[in-house]
Amino acid sequence: MNDPNKIGMEYNSNREHLIIPEYGRNVQKMIHYAKALEDRAERQAHIEKIIDMMQMMHPQSRSIEDYRERLWKHVYRIAEYDLDVDYPYGEPPTEEEHLKRPEQVPYPVWEARYRHYGHNVQELIKKAKEMPEGPKRDGFVATIGSYMKLAYRTWNKEHYVSDEVIKSDLKGLSKGELTMDEDENIENLAKGSSNNNNNNNNNNRRRSNNKRSGGGRSRGGRSGGGSSRGGRSNYRRSKR
């Protein structure tokens, strides 16, 4: 059996590692060739031609904002950030910038008992705790209770929820800092929206009824016009 190394063949496992595989091995070889050129102007011209070719390889990405700048960053990355050319977008990219990772976004802390109210309720309660005591804060707390009742009924439509349960959960979520009077009635926000929907439906029915009644009068007018035409034709016959 012939040895592949003797006939000029090589396996990918024996080749140089591809830094960005989407551009292929030939692009990587051309970048390394341009990086080794001694003449700086010639090196600059070679890199710009390579970027033009890389852009033609993905024509569907031309409309992407800052796409050419991204290609320049990829060229620097393939050249292992050892490339002495004029970077047209300010400071040339560095390996430290490539390895830099964004700060981790903290995951919201949930309490297992009150998961059905959602994270927004916790944010509202936090804001209410920062407000000074007074009627404005009391009204805001009442709004939070109404929202909690709406959220509870959204996920538990088959079960009745009393105001006492909402007030107890509000006290538990706020660590006892927000409370509502025992005699205070929590109005469900859904009632207000349903009343608005009913009013809109009633208004739409009135408009449709007015249109129908107006259309009947117009038809009656046309029928009356027909009778007047019939009267004129009878008058002509009698005159003849």
Check residue 48 and give its pLDDT: 95
Q: What is the pLDDT of residues 93-102, one digit of tens each?
A: 999 888 888 8
Number of domains in the chain: 2
Residue 193: C-alpha distances to residues 45, 110, 147, 155 (Å): 67, 29, 12, 18
Nearest-angstrom CA–CA distance, 16 and 67 = 27
Q: What is the pLDDT of residues 140-192, one digit of tens each?
A: 998 998 888 888 888 777 778 888 888 888 888 888 888 888 878 887 554 54
Taking Cα atoms as reference points, which of 84, 94, 18 lies closest to residue 46? 84
Average pLDDT over residues 51-64: 88
Q: At residue 50, does pLDDT exceed 90?
A: yes
Domain-located, residue 84: yes
* 33 and 67, same domain (yes or no): yes
Residue 167's CB is within 10 A of a number of other CB atoms, namely 19
Q: At residue 119, does pLDDT exceed 70?
A: yes
Average pLDDT over residues 203-217: 58
Residue type, 76: Y
Domain-located, residue 138: yes
* 93 and 123, same domain (yes or no): no
Q: Return mean pLDDT, the chain.
A: 78
Domain-located, residue 130: yes
The model's confidence at residue 227, banded by pLDDT at 50, 70 and 90, is very low
Percentage of residues in the chain with pLDDT exceeding 90?
30
Q: At residue 57, does pLDDT exceed 50?
A: yes
Quote the domain boundaries for residue 139: 112-189
